[in-house]
Amino acid sequence: MVSAHYSTYRYGVAAVLAMLVCAPAARAQDTAPASSTSIIEAAGPKPGDNGKRHLNVEGKDKGKYACFGLVQFDGAALKTTLDKKYGVGKYKVTGLTLELARSSASFSAAGKVNVYTLAGKVDAAALKYPLDLKGNLKPALLGSIEFTVSAKAAGFAAADADKLDLIKGGKGAAIFTTLSTGGVVTLALAEGDSKVAATWAGKENSQVAAPTLNVTVTKKK
């Protein structure tokens, strides 16, 4: 016959073990700023500092100003940081959100901006507006951002954040692999509406953060 004391102890240990087995792995948040940004116009990348400080997306209704944005993230740098922080092979990327610092310019116009992932590291100098959706770059749509014109004063000092979950629905699964193997992630932001004129901070903007990947890492047991 089992004593009540032993029975209580046995079930208590079992409950603790069950909690340990079922407990979710610890999660942590890291960020990766863009390694490069470009504004791609009909003649190619926009020259000068404005093409580096800003990331504009303007639809075909904007005529000669029509353009799309290109953003690249260095997976090697991120992998080095994560390996050092968590240990090689002791984590996996389970969440990825693109964050853009938005501000209204005099030419801003509300509308939809589509976000695509492109195959591999892309040479911005080889691109021209509009984005070729059927070419060798194999653009894969990750989602869309509804750009709105801020009621705040114009300028990046009044910037708001636009965010897009790149993993929602499993569409960004390939990005996991690229980041975990130290490759380059290339995103293209192109018009979803022909009237849109969206402005975000580029890599070399001195007032607010460059485009950033917010990375959720799950530590392996």
Contact at 8 Å (CB) between 95 and 216?
Answer: yes
Is 179 inside a domain boundary? yes
Is 96 inside a domain boundary? yes
In the chain, the number of structural domains is: 1
Q: How far apart are CA 73 and CA 185, in angstroms?
A: 5
Is 12 inside a domain boundary? no
Is 125 inside a domain boundary? yes
> In this structure, what are the phi and psi dihedrals at residue 129, rounded to the nearest 5 degrees?
-75, 140
pTM greater than the 0.75 cutoff: yes
Strand ranges inside the chain, DSSP E: 27-33, 36-41, 44-45, 54-58, 68-74, 91-102, 111-118, 140-147, 160-165, 184-191, 197-201, 212-219
Find tokens 């114009």 and name the residue: 154
Is 158 inside a domain boundary? yes
What is the pLDDT, as a whole number, of residue 18? 40
What is the pLDDT, as a whole number, of residue 119? 86
What is the pLDDT, as a whole number, of residue 21? 39
Q: How far apart are CA 157 and CA 150, in angstroms?
A: 12
> In this structure, what are the phi and psi dihedrals at residue 63, rounded to the nearest 5 degrees?
60, -125
Return the C-alpha torsion angle 35, 40, 44, 45, nearest 10.
-40
Is 13 inside a domain boundary? no
Is 3 inside a domain boundary? no
What is the pLDDT, as a whole number, of residue 105? 86
Per-residue pLDDT of the chain (221 residues; tens, 9 = 90+): 545 444 443 444 444 334 333 444 577 889 999 999 999 999 999 999 889 999 999 999 999 999 999 999 999 999 999 999 999 989 888 889 999 999 878 899 999 999 999 987 899 999 999 999 998 899 999 999 999 987 666 676 666 899 999 887 677 778 888 888 889 999 999 999 999 999 999 999 988 899 999 999 898 87
What is the pLDDT, as a whole number, of residue 176? 80
| CATH code, domain carrying 51 | 2.60.120
- Torsion sign over Cα 78, 82, 84, 89: negative
Is 213 inside a domain boundary? yes
What is the pLDDT, as a whole number, of residue 150? 76
CA angle (177, 178, 183) in 5-degree steps = 150
What is the pLDDT, as a whole number, of residue 152? 66
User: Which domain, by its residues, includes 109?
Assistant: 25-219
